Structures are given as C-alpha cells and as structure tokens.
Amino acid sequence: MADLTFFFFLLAAIAIGWLLGRRSVKKKKPDCSEQQQSLARSYAQGLNYLLNERHGDAIDKFIDSLEVSSATFDTHLALGNLLRKRGEHDQAIRVHQNLLARPSLARASQQKAQLELARDYIAAGWLDRAERLLQELVETSSDLRNTSLEHLVEVYRDEREWAKAIHAVNLLHGRRFKRLSSEWAPVQAHFCCELAEEAISGKDYLSARKHIDSALGYDRNSVRACLLWGRLEYQLGRPQEAIKVLQRIPKQNPDYIPEILDLLITSYEAVGDEAGLDTYLEALLREHPSNSVLIALTERIHQQRSEAEAAAFMGKQLALRPSLRGLGHFLDLHIDSTQGRARENLSLLKTLVDQLIASRPHYRCSNCGFSGNQLHWLCPSCKSWDTVRSVKGVEGE
C-alpha cells in the first residue's frame, strides 16, 4: 500500500511539473513547440522510470521538469519527506538539497528546506551534518528555533553528548533554572544519570554525586538516579546508606524492584543484618509480588533453614501466582532430593522449562513492543525513555 501511494504521488508530481512547465513556456513564448516537446519527453521518461521502478531516475526527471518556485515549493518538500519516511534517505537529501540551492526562494522557505534536510541527515545517521544545520537554524530562525532545538537534543542523545543535550533542553525552556515540563524533566534526569555513570566508571565520585543530585533536582522520583546513588554509596563503603536509598525505589516505581535486589542483598549482608533483609523481602513480596523477590526469599529459606521448607514455601506461592521462573526454581529444589527415574523426569521437565524461559524476553517496551533480555533506560527501537520494563505474568515477573 505504501509503495502504491508513493508511485501515485511521484506520478502526480511529475505530471504537475509537466503542466506547470508547459504553462510557463506558453507565457514566455508564443512559438514554443520545441520546448513543449522537451517537457513532454521529460514527462514520458519520468513515467517510464516509474513503471520500471527506477525511482532515482524518476526523481531526477521530477527535479528537472518541476521548476522550484513558491508555487511548487510544497510539492518538492512533500516528496522529500515521503522519500525519507520510505527510508530512501539519499533521494530525500537530493530533493531537499535542490531546494536549498535556489537563492530565489524566500528566506522562510529556505529555512524550512534546511530543517527537512537536517531531518534527512538524522534519518541517514549523518549526525554531524544535521548538527551544523540545526545550530544555524537555532541562531537564525525564530519560527523554527524550538523545533531545531528538539532535533538537536535527539542528535546529542544519539552522539552521547550528554552535557550538550542538557544545554539544548535548557535553551528550549528559555533559561537555566526555569522549571521544566513533565515531558522534559525526566529526560534531563536521564542525561545527568548518563554523566553520573561515566563519572562512576572513571572513579570520579565527586562528579558522580554532583550529577546524581542534578538528576534528582530535575526528577525527584528518578529510579535510575536512586539506583546510581545506592551503587555509589556502596562503592564508597557505606552499605547502610545504600540500603536507605535503594528502599526508596519500590515507592517510586515497583516495576524496578528486580533491578535493586542484588545490590540490596549485598548491602544488607555487608552490615550483617540478615533478619532485617528477611523482613524487608517478606514485606516486598507481600506488597509488590514478583518472581525475583520470591526466588530471592526462597533461596534465603533454603540457606538458613532447609531445602524442604524452601520447597514448601515456593509451592505455596506458586499455587497463588504460577510462573515459569518459579516453577524452574521449584524443580531445582526437588531434583537433588530425588533418585532414579523420578530424578530423570524432573531433570527433563527442568530442561524444558529452562528452554521456555530462555526463549522468552525478560524486558519489553510498553511504547513500541521492543523486547530483549536486558534493561534499557532508552528503548533502542523507539528512543523513548523509561518505557522498557520487566515482562509481567506467567512468563516474567
């Protein structure tokens, strides 16, 4: 359907070019049969190229036959945009570059063409070229300034230029300390968290603390900022502080409880508060049931009491909330205590369950449906922040 739409659009564009060109020739010269024949040949060639799916040649004919003017500008612009949406980035660039090469166009029209060319470059992955065009528009076009800044944020995000991205968002909102909208505040928090992660990796803990504070200044409920804060406290030898920070996250967003468990358990163990850990895990399971918490608590019962008690606890929980992960762990608890054919059967069943779990994604984007086996703060597919979460239900949490 999209290909058919494109075919008719390009056919119409070439036809419009021929008609406008024919009218222009008539106005200029009474005796214009030769020029009319040339236009007719261009139209026929363009149609032939379309029928043979030679879109590049057809677009060349379109550019040749349709003079760029205020009357035809929107047609050129729309064709370039359609080509970009189809993924034909080189062709879109050619169309929009052709517009920019026309000094006779009004300044506002040239700037619109420049914006579309920048979008072409972004789609093609030529971010440095897009950046230059957008920076120029920010400085020269009051009408397109905000749109250009929004695209610059995208460019800096994809280039991982986090400080520049933060600056661009601040420019978008007028001044450094103006309160950001609910749309942009969480995004700024993520940019600060990216800088904090880089600082932690480089053991620059002072800068990391500064960036985490900035993130929480933008979004006080930033789960990612609290995760980094807890990680920083633990690395600095303050596990008790790490526990306090990590315990904020279930209140902020319980979907991220699985992400805190490893560090939370390690921190509790570092301070020697085994009873406190058990109490907290029990409360989490009661208030925010999840398979990750269930398995962690079952493992602690196994270590501290017995395999039988752990199996009984897991069996009771599975009756309330069946899940593949829980079943896999339940089978593990029984395999070691069985012998002979029963053990073989349980092992076979465990293998099948493990294969089912391995074939299912652990995370999914609520916006576009992207799925994978690791947490992404920024969805690799639709480029949305905070939309990738643990899968829920029998196959997930």
Residues annotated within a binding site for Fe cation: 365, 368, 379, 382
Pairing of strands 363-365, 371-372: antiparallel
- State how far Cα 80 lies from the chain centre: 25
Pairing of strands 363-365, 388-390: antiparallel
Give the residue from 188, 197, 252 showing the smallest Cα distance to 229.
197
Distance CA(363)–CA(369), nearest Å, equals: 10
Torsion of CA 25, 30, 33, 39, to 10 degrees: 10
Distance CA(134)–CA(148), nearest Å, equals: 5
Distance CA(56)–CA(116), nearest Å, equals: 19
Ramachandran sector of residue 350 (left: φ over 0; alpha: ψ -120 to 50; beta: rest): alpha
**Burial label, 188 (beta-carbon count in 10 A; 0-12, 13-18, 19+):** buried
Binding residues: 365, 368, 379, 382
Q: Token digits for 268?
A: 């509790």
